[in-house]
């Protein structure tokens, strides 16, 4: 992830993500869950812009949504201290020993409560953007340390590429030589809270001594993807939260049925849902499948691809 200058403003694009693999190893004593997951960024972006002055000419800190995307978001994700962008900006300012300033404007395109990581990606974008706009000059490693304090997925978005993430998600191991995957994503109108999905899963306590039972499965998935064998990769893709999410949002099961009828290479839930995706044979296949899914009127449909 990077920021670019536009006149006297700065801009950063925040991608969504898909979980190509997600295993929940158990509940940790700190209340989090021990995870092992393969995350891939996709070309579906929020846009965060910093201006030195707000619309009223003030140089004091402000954070708001672009009017295009603000209709329902203000209630669902208020632009205040409860928002990850707000917290990211203030976290960086505190670390640098200076007050936050300027206007941050977020245009949302990534649906919320969908398992697409939009809030975490926005937080990563805020760190990168403020670091550049305020000329702080922190290294990527220093920013990643701040990112880990904000949320489990935020360090992944700082890495900017497909990665295996472990722990609660903060331990990021970038993966090279990944193919571009053509995907179709459907985000139902009903969202699922991450906490609700994990409660429904009711995972056992994590015992580090038991090791990672799914490690071989993940290794096989990575090998298949590197070889470009989507048929083989489909055998190893999984999401441990899918059954729990389906019980909370029944439309997930219907999406699985429709995707299965479209001849895609693989399909599953991303994150804790409610978004569902299919890996298609080609961009043309993705466009045809998206048309069918749009006609089903089950939610917002996105035709996109992974970022390498």
* Residue 150 banded pLDDT, cuts 50, 70, 90: very high
Q: What per-residue confidence (pLDDT) applies to 245? A: 96
Rounded mean pLDDT of 168-177?
94
Report the binding-site residues for ATP: 111-121
pLDDT band, residue 55 (cuts 50/70/90): confident
Assigned token pair, 216: 């071989």
How much is the average pLDDT of 280-305? 97
Residues of the chain with pLDDT > 70: what percent? Answer: 98
3-state secondary structure of 65: strand
Q: Which of 76, 94, 74 is nearest to 63 (CA)?
A: 74
pLDDT digits (tens, 9 = 90+) for 86-117: 999 999 999 999 999 999 999 999 999 999 99
H-assigned helices in 19-166: 73-76, 84-96, 118-133, 140-150, 154-159
Give yes or no for a contact between 126 and 85, defined as CB atoms under 8 angstroms apart. yes
Give the largest Cα separation in the chain, rounded. 59
Cβ atoms of residues 97 and 138 within 8 Å: no
**Mean per-residue pLDDT, 128-152:** 96
Q: Residue 208: what pLDDT?
A: 82
pLDDT band at 54 (very low <50, low <70, confident <90, very high): confident
Burial class (CB in 10 A: 0-12, 13-18, 19+), 152: buried
Average pLDDT in the chain: 94
Specify the pLDDT at position 215.
73
- The pLDDT, as a whole number, for residue 4 is 97
Phi, psi (rounded to 5 degrees) for 21: -155, 135
pTM: 0.94
Peptide bond into 274 cis (omega under 30): yes
pLDDT at 272 over 70: yes
Could you tell me the domains of the chain?
3-174 (3.30.230.10), 182-305 (3.30.70.890)
128: confidence class by pLDDT, cuts 50, 70, 90: very high
Query: Which pLDDT score, from 0 to 100, does residue 68 have?
Result: 77
Concatenating the DSSP letter of every residue in 127-195 gives HHHHHHHTT----HHHHHHHHHHH-TTHHHHHHTS-EEEEETTTEEEE--SPPP-EEEEEEESS---HH
CB distance 17 to 160 below 8 Å: no
Q: Which residues are catalytic?
A: 17, 153
* pLDDT at 213 (0 to 100): 57
Q: Output the pLDDT for position 127.
A: 98
* Closest to 271 measured CA to CA, from 10, 33, 12: 33
For 21-35, write each residue's pLDDT tens digit. 999 999 999 989 999
* Mean pLDDT computed over 195-224: 86
pLDDT digits (tens, 9 = 90+) for 210-242: 655 567 899 999 999 999 999 999 999 999 999
d(CA 180, CA 53): 39
């Amino acid at each position: 992830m990077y920021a670019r200058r536009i006149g006297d403003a700065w801009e950063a694009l925040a991608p969504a993500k898909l979980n190509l693999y997600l295993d929940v190893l158990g509940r940790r004593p700190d209340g989090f869950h021990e995870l092992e997951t393969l995350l891939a960024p996709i070309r579906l972006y929020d846009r965060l812009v910093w201006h030195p002055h707000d619309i009223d000419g003030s140089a004091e800190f402000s954070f708001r949504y672009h009017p295009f995307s603000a209709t329902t978001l203000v209630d669902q994700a208020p632009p205040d201290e409860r928002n990850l962008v707000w917290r990211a900006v203030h976290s960086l300012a505190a670390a640098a020993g200076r007050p936050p300033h300027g206007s941050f404007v977020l245009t949302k395109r990534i649906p919320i409560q969908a398992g697409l990581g939009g809030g975490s990606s926005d937080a990563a974008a805020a760190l990168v953007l403020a670091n550049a706009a305020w000329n702080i000059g922190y290294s990527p490693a220093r920013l990643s340390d701040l990112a880990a304090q904000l949320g489990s997925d935020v360090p992944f978005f700082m890495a900017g590429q497909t990665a295996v993430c472990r722990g609660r998600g903060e331990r990021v191991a970038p993966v090279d030589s990944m193919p571009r995957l053509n995907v179709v994503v459907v985000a139902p109108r009903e969202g699922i809270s991450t906490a609700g999905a994990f409660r429904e899963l009711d995972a056992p306590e994590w015992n580090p001594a038991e090791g990672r039972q799914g490690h071989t499965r993940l290794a096989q998935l990575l090998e298949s993807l590197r070889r470009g064998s989507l048929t083989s990769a489909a055998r190893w893709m999984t999401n441990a939260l899918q059954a729990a999410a389906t019980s909370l949002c029944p439309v997930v099961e219907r999406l699985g049925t429709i995707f299965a009828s479209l001849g895609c290479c693989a399909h599953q839930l991303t994150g804790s849902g409610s978004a569902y995706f299919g890996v298609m044979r080609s961009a043309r296949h993705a466009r045809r499948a998206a048309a069918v899914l749009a006609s089903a009127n089950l939610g917002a449909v996105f035709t996109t691809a992974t970022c390498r």
